[in-house]
């Protein structure tokens, strides 16, 4: 009887030990899998963000593919297990015009989805339970956020607008592609009041603050429904010195600041009779040759759509990276209710935020600033709650949660 009990005890102990080994092995292996899942997700997130930013700047899925592929490989190399099987994984990059549903192949592309599948991890102790491999995958979706309610790195220039906007002019009274003066060199324009030329006093340091803010050195923010304060005076020298850094021109106090205020990668601009000037009191914009210029269609050779984006997509750089930085000529500005202004320093209500493209540098003889109104642009800031497909205004590039990879 005792021998029989002793035999049963040995069997029970053996089964218990085996169960402990399996449970412990599963715990260790699952922990190992979760660590690698997290690393893979971070890698895919970074790739999706990189692709979405490249797509946003260049409008080229080819360049976005390259950006995602490079980031995937670079991050995989930092993780020995992933890199050892990286060549056997399946990597998919897809684009969609809509976020929900994500319709791969729909155009024009706004959102990017990056998938990595087939990352196989060999088990250790869990093999005792017949589990020899764990397969993990990750998916990330990135693209433009909802329109920004609070935007940072704004240019210290206000454009006058209306809210609600009139029909056909969805950006607070402006249309995408419209060409306009955003800062005036003399009286008669602007609409704020005597002594105001559409400059804003963000930093409280007068002309030097305008100079550095126009060069990109302002880190503060503006929020819709809040107010901004005007900066009186033409302030021509600081205006040209700040803006011209974006065209790789460093004058006066900005000399030697290229590393702090880098130029755009594309500095091509009109010259000779193609340069823009004001007609009368800036009631319209025309070239030096006298051609009236109202939209980007009129000025296709120098517009954002006709000149800048094609050169960017083809990587036809005037100042190649890393010295040059894409979209330095694209600025976000507050749209204000100028009826609340007047003579001298004024407080203006912020109706919204708009995006503009600088068409040419500012010379000492004419300190008007000419720009094209863009439908949207990328900034730093806080987005609203709901993305839409044809929203206007500044936005950020961000990740979105997806059913296939909720960690994203």
User: What are the pLDDT digits (tens) for 385-395?
Assistant: 555 555 566 77
Average pLDDT of 248-267?
95
CA nearest 366: which of 264, 277, 303, 238?
277
Please, what is the Cα angle at 392 between 386 and 397, to 5 degrees? 60
Q: What is the pLDDT of residue 7?
A: 58
Work out how many domains the chain is built from and give that number. 2
Name the percent of the chain lying above pLDDT 90: 42
Structure tokens at 139: 């998916």
Last residue of a domain, one of 146, 174, 203: 146
Q: Do 238 and 379 belong to one domain?
A: yes
Average pLDDT of 129-154?
76
Q: What is the pLDDT of residue 69?
A: 94
Last residue of a domain, one of 146, 173, 206: 146
Residue 176, in any domain of the structure: yes
- Please state which of the ranges 9-23, 88-102, 166-180, 306-320 shows the lowest mean pLDDT: 9-23
**Residue 25 pLDDT more than 90?**
no
- Which comes out higher in pLDDT, residue 124 or 137? 137
Q: Do 196 and 92 belong to one domain?
A: no
Q: 279 falls in which pLDDT band (50, 70, 90)? A: confident
Is residue 327 a contact partner of residue 377, using CB atoms and an 8 Å limit? yes
Q: Do 126 and 155 belong to one domain?
A: no
Q: Which structural domain, as residue segments, surrounds residue 88?
A: 2-146
Q: Do 178 and 124 belong to one domain?
A: no
Q: What is the pLDDT of residue 207?
A: 87
Last residue of a domain, one of 119, 146, 173: 146
Q: What is the pLDDT of residue 367?
A: 87
Residue 407, in any domain of the structure: no
Residue 398, in any domain of the structure: no
Give just the sign of the alpha carbon dihedral 295, 299, 304, 306: positive
Residue 394, in any domain of the structure: no
As a whole number of angstroms, the distance between CA 200 and CA 211 comes to 11
Question: To 10 degrees, what angle do helices 2-58 and 61-77 make?
Answer: 140
Residue 138, in any domain of the structure: yes
pTM higher than 0.85 for the full model?
Answer: no
Q: Do 172 and 298 belong to one domain?
A: yes
Residue 408, in any domain of the structure: no
Q: 72 falls in which pLDDT band (50, 70, 90)? A: very high
- Which comes out higher in pLDDT, residue 314 or 382? 314
Q: Do 132 and 155 belong to one domain?
A: no
**Residue 10 pLDDT more than 80?**
no
- Please state which of the ranges 90-94, 271-275, 386-390 shows the lowest mean pLDDT: 386-390
Average pLDDT of 379-402?
66
Residue 250, in any domain of the structure: yes
Residue 397, in any domain of the structure: no
Q: Do 354 and 244 belong to one domain?
A: yes
Structure tokens at 353: 């935020």
**Residue 127 pLDDT more than 60?**
no
Q: What is the pLDDT of residue 56?
A: 84
As a whole number of angstroms, the distance between CA 177 and CA 293 comes to 11
């Amino acid at each position: 009887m005792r021998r029989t009990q002793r035999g049963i005890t040995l069997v029970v102990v053996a089964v218990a030990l085996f169960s402990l080994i399996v449970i412990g092995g599963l715990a260790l292996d699952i922990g190992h899998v979760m660590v690698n899942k997290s690393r893979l997700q971070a890698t895919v997130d970074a790739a999706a963000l990189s692709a979405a930013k490249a797509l946003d700047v260049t409008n080229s899925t080819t360049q976005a593919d390259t950006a995602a592929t490079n980031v995937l490989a670079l991050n995989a190399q930092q993780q020995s297990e992933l890199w050892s099987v990286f060549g056997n994984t399946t990597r998919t990059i897809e684009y969609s015009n809509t976020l929900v549903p994500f319709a791969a192949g729909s155009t024009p592309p706004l959102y990017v989805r990056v998938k990595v599948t087939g990352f196989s991890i060999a088990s250790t102790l869990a093999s005792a339970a017949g589990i020899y491999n764990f397969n993990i995958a990750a998916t990330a979706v990135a693209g433009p956020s909802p329109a920004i309610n609070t935007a940072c790195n704004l240019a210290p220039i206000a454009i006058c607008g209306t809210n609600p906007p009139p029909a056909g002019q969805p950006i607070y009274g402006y249309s995408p592609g419209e060409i306009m003066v955003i800062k005036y060199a003399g009286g008669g324009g602007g609409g704020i009041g005597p002594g105001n030329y559409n400059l804003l006093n963000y930093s409280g340091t007068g002309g030097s603050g305008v100079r550095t803010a126009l060069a990109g050195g302002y880190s503060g923010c503006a929020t819709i429904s809040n107010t901004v304060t005007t900066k009186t005076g033409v302030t021509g020298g600081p205006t040209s010195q700040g803006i011209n850094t974006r065209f790789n021109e460093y004058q006066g106090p900005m000399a030697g600041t290229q590393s702090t205020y880098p130029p755009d990668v594309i500095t091509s601009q009109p010259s000779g009779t193609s340069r823009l000037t004001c007609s009368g009191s800036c009631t319209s914009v025309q070239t030096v040759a006298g051609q009236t210029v109202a939209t980007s269609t009129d000025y296709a050779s120098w517009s954002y759509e006709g000149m800048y984006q094609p050169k960017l997509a083809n990587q036809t750089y005037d100042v190649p990276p890393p010295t040059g930085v894409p979209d330095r000529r694209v600025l976000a500005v507050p749209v204000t209710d100028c009826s609340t202004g007047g003579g001298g320093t004024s407080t203006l209500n912020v109706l919204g935020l708009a995006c503009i493209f600088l068409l040419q540098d500012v010379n000492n003889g004419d300190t008007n600033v000419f720009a094209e109104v863009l439908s949207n642009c990328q900034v730093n800031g806080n987005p609203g709650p709901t993305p839409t497909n044809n929203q206007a205004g500044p936005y950020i590039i961000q990740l979105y949660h997806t059913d296939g990879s909720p960690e994203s």
